[in-house]
Amino acid sequence: MRFALTAEQQDLRDVVHELVERLCPPAVVRSAPDTPAVDELSRALAEVGVPGLLLPERCGGLGLDENYLVPLLTETGWAAVPLPVLETAGVAPAVLEAAGLADRLLADGIAVAADPAGSGLVRFAPRATLLLTGGWGGSGPITVVSLSDAHREPVAAVDPAAHLCRVGAPTVLGVVDDPRVVELAWQRGVLGAAAQLIGLSRRMLEMTVEYVGSRTQFGVPVGSFQAVKHHLADALLQVEFAAPAVARAGFSLATDSPERDRDVSLAKALASEAARRVARTAIQCHGAIGYTTEYDLHLYAKRAWALAADWGSAAWHRARIARHLGLAHTGTLPVH
């Protein structure tokens, strides 16, 4: 028993943290998708092996497991990286390998988007070259489509940094319906979203702690007031108890545990609730400046809201866990 990152996993975390801290400051999160800074960020993440992290070595990947995926995506979440990292590093490898398209994964950088619900709405679409559609809940076929010549219509969105688009007339490259692959892709997507939410939560908390420590009212830092302290202590509590559940879900996937589905749902439900709580607390504790778009906090809050609702909301995953526990919900699980 040793429930902590190994030295290699810590190294990966540190490398990625240093990379995104340097190449993905808030100005890059805000920038248009075709700017050189985003190109450089994408290239740098590809160079450390992000797209091939989970791809077997025989396919040219690093052949690592989900115990590495969690720290990687926690850090890219922390920086709100404006690229489809969780889709490319987490969801794509098994699907593209099954579709015989693994070489595309390694060639295109951070460029695979996903739309598991088949909603037609695709985050980070402008830079994506491939799109994986379907597979919601870990079943049904996943369609691999090329976005090279597809029509991408920008959609006004809560999170402008996600470059949300509606995609039309794409070219189908393949359909993957191997149940093991579809299930794995879904579970990795859920896990990856949960990991990014932990990173986003930590970032919002860091910003808020710093702010309330320097902002003064009534002649003292507002962070010295007990009302503010208790809000932030409660927010931290949610994050600190969600993070180990995310790490355990990574271990369950890496070891193919029979409880893996329940464990990824636990991770996503706790991480989604934590992120929502932290975002609300962070904005409240900042006061009016937290309600502006000039200040950077909103970049992380908006990413968190989108991710908390995607890949199964907290309520959706609780319903899933209830089934695993043999508790009969009378309702049926909605598609999304």
Partner 1 sequence: MDLTWSESEEAFRAEAREWLAANVPREPLPSGDTREGFARHLEWERKLFEARWAVVSWPKEYGGRDASLWEWLIFEEEYYRAGAPQRVTQNGIFLLAPTLFEFGTKEQRDTLLPRMAAAEDLWCQGWSEPGAGSDLAGIRSRAERDDEAGGWRLTGQKTWTTRGAFCTHLFGLFRTDPTAQRHRGLTYFLVPLDSPGVTVRGFERLDGDEGFAEVFFDNVFVPDSAVLGEVNQGWQVAMATTGSERGLTLRSPGRFLRAAERLVELAQAHPEAATDPLVDRITEVWMQAQAYQLFTLAQVTDIVEGRPPGPRSSLNKLYWSELDVRLHEAALELLGPQGQTDNPWSRGFLFSLAGPIYAGTNEIQRNIVAERVLGLPRK
Q: Which is nearer to partner 1, 4 or 156 (CB)?
A: 4
Q: How far is the CB of 273 from partner 1 (least distance, A)?
A: 9
Residue 206 makes CB contacts below 8 A (sequence gap 6+) with: none
State the DSSP string of 198-255. Answer: HHHHHHHHHHHHHHHHH-EETTEEGGGSHHHHHHHHHHHHHHHHHHHHHHHHHHHHHT
- Rounded CA-CA distance 105/277 in Å is 35
Residue 180 makes CB contacts below 8 A (sequence gap 6+) with: none
Q: Is residue 323 exposed (0-12), middle (13-18) or buried (19+ Cβ within 10 Å)?
A: middle
> What value, to the nearest 5°, has the Cα angle with vertex 111 and ends 109 and 114?
145
Q: Which is nearer to partner 1, 54 or 269 (CB)?
A: 269
- Applying CB under 8 A, what is the total number of residues that bind partner 1? 50
Q: Max Cα separation, the chain?
A: 65
Q: Which is nearer to partner 1, 42 or 313 (CB)?
A: 313
Residue from 118, 221, 284, 333 in contact with partner 1 (CB under 8 A): 221
Q: How far is the CB of 92 from partner 1 (least distance, A)?
A: 23
Q: Is residue 328 exposed (0-12), middle (13-18) or buried (19+ Cβ within 10 Å)?
A: exposed
Q: How far is the CB of 331 from partner 1 (least distance, A)?
A: 6
Residue from 212, 283, 297, 308 in contact with partner 1 (CB under 8 A): 212
Count of beta carbons in the 10 Å neighbourhood of residue 143 = 21
Chain residues 13-32 in contact with partner 1, contact rule CB under 8 A? none
Q: Does 7 bind partner 1 (CB under 8 A)?
A: no
Residue from 16, 55, 236, 307 in contact with partner 1 (CB under 8 A): 236
Q: Does 269 bind partner 1 (CB under 8 A)?
A: yes
Residue from 180, 241, 256, 334 in contact with partner 1 (CB under 8 A): 241
Q: Does 10 bind partner 1 (CB under 8 A)?
A: no
Q: Which is nearer to partner 1, 169 or 327 (CB)?
A: 327
Phi first, then psi, for residue 195 (nearest 5°) are -65, -45
The residues that touch partner 1, with contacts defined as CB under 8 A, are 1-6, 9, 67, 205, 209, 212-213, 220-221, 223-224, 226, 228-230, 232-234, 236-237, 240-242, 244-245, 247-248, 250-251, 254, 266, 269-270, 315, 318-319, 321-322, 325-331
